[in-house]
């Protein structure tokens, strides 16, 4: 009888402590998956990135490092991160000239013609790891998803290559891997950040224009940065919940 009561109380306690999704996750933890390394707790993180336009020199180090780290094909249109150069004529701010030769893999050539009156700056782009991501919403089979730690990932085993997500991304951050015919995108170097390292692009950025941030870490300098700088996200009107914050962004950037 005592045993029964103990078992009942334990069961009831577990039920209360672990309701709904947490109970499901607990089942999985008991089964030994999916978190192989015990010291990375999915729910302790909420990853994002800060990009400081005022520091970017357009050298393309991030683009090259990303290609090497993530084995991204050297083909046109295959970029997990790339850098754009904006040239804005104050007389025609609605029509900025934007170029990104080979994604800035080899940096940028000098601009031909007079540049005195132009506002010129570099904008590194990558997946914005949206909290309410359009690409995740359109995937018919759950092959792309935002994880509990705020990173938007692709399940390459499941992906059919239907290209809905490529069209849905308002930032143009996705492409189809020509080798596997599946969707590809920035994983925020998921294999690195879950091991306590920063992303390859942040690691090799010489000016610190890119910074990986963990919005759930109270000690992360991001909180101070967001409070003291005028940061913006791209296309805020789309309410994507982007977690890539730009400091010093010109309103002309799309």
Partner 1 sequence: MSGRFKDYEHVLRMAALFVIGVVVFIAVRSWMVPDDFGVYGFFRAGALDDNRAHPLVYAGRAACVDCHSDLVEERKGSRHEAIGCEACHGPLARHASGEDDTKPVRPDARATCIRCHESKAGKPAGFPQVNAAEHAESGPCSECHNPHRPAVS
Chain residues binding partner 1 by CB under 8 A are: 21, 24-25, 27-28, 33-36, 42, 54-61, 65, 68-70, 85, 87, 107-108, 110-111, 115, 118, 120-122, 142-148, 153-158, 187, 190-192, 194-195, 197-198, 200, 203-208
| Nearest approach, Cβ of residue 107 and partner 1 (Å) | 6
Minimum CB distance to partner 1 smaller for 166 or for 184? 184
Minimum CB distance to partner 1 smaller for 48 or for 58? 58
Report the candidate in 116, 152, 150, 148 with the shortest Cα–Cα distance to residue 137: 152
Minimum CB distance to partner 1 smaller for 12 or for 22? 22
Residue spans of beta strands (DSSP E) within the chain: 47-52, 81-88, 97-99, 119-126, 144-146, 152-154, 175-177, 182-184, 210-214, 231-232, 244-247
| Nearest approach, Cβ of residue 228 and partner 1 (Å) | 19
Minimum CB distance to partner 1 smaller for 101 or for 236? 101
Measured in degrees and rounded to the nearest 5, phi and psi for residue 99 equal -135, 155
| Nearest approach, Cβ of residue 153 and partner 1 (Å) | 5
Q: Output the six-digit token pair for 196.
A: 């306590």
b or e along 6-29 (b: 16 or more beta carbons within 10 Å of the residue's beta carbon)? Answer: eeeeeeeeeeeeeeeeeeebeeee
Minimum CB distance to partner 1 smaller for 57 or for 215? 57
User: How far is C-alpha 183 from the geometric centre of its chain's CA atoms?
Assistant: 15
| Nearest approach, Cβ of residue 242 and partner 1 (Å) | 19
């Amino acid at each position: 009888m005592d045993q029964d009561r103990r078992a009942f109380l334990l069961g009831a306690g577990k039920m209360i402590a672990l309701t709904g999704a947490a109970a499901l996750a607990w089942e999985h933890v008991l089964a030994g998956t999916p978190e192989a390394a015990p010291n990375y707790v999915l729910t302790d993180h909420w990853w994002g990135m800060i990009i400081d336009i005022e520091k970017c020199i357009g050298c393309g180090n991030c683009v090259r490092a990303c290609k090497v780290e993530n084995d991204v094909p050297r083909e046109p249109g295959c970029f997990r991160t790339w850098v754009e150069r904006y040239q804005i004529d104050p007389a025609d701010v609605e029509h900025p000239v934007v170029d990104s030769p080979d994604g800035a893999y080899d940096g940028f050539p000098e601009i031909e013609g007079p540049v005195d009156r132009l506002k010129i700056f570099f904008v590194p782009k990558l997946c914005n790891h949206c909290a309410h991501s359009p690409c995740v919403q359109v995937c018919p089979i759950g092959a792309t998803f935002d994880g509990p730690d705020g990173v938007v990932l692709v399940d390459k085993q499941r992906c059919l290559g239907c290209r809905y997500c490529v069209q849905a991304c308002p930032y143009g951050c996705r492409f189809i891997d020509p080798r596997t015919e599946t969707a590809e995108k920035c994983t925020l170097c998921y294999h690195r950040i879950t091991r306590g390292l920063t992303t390859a692009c942040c690691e090799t950025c010489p000016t610190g224009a890119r910074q990986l941030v963990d919005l759930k870490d109270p000690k992360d300098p991001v909180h101070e940065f967001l409070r003291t700088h005028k940061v913006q996200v791209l296309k805020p009107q789309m309410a994507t919940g982007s977690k890539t914050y730009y400091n010093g962004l010109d309103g002309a950037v799309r």
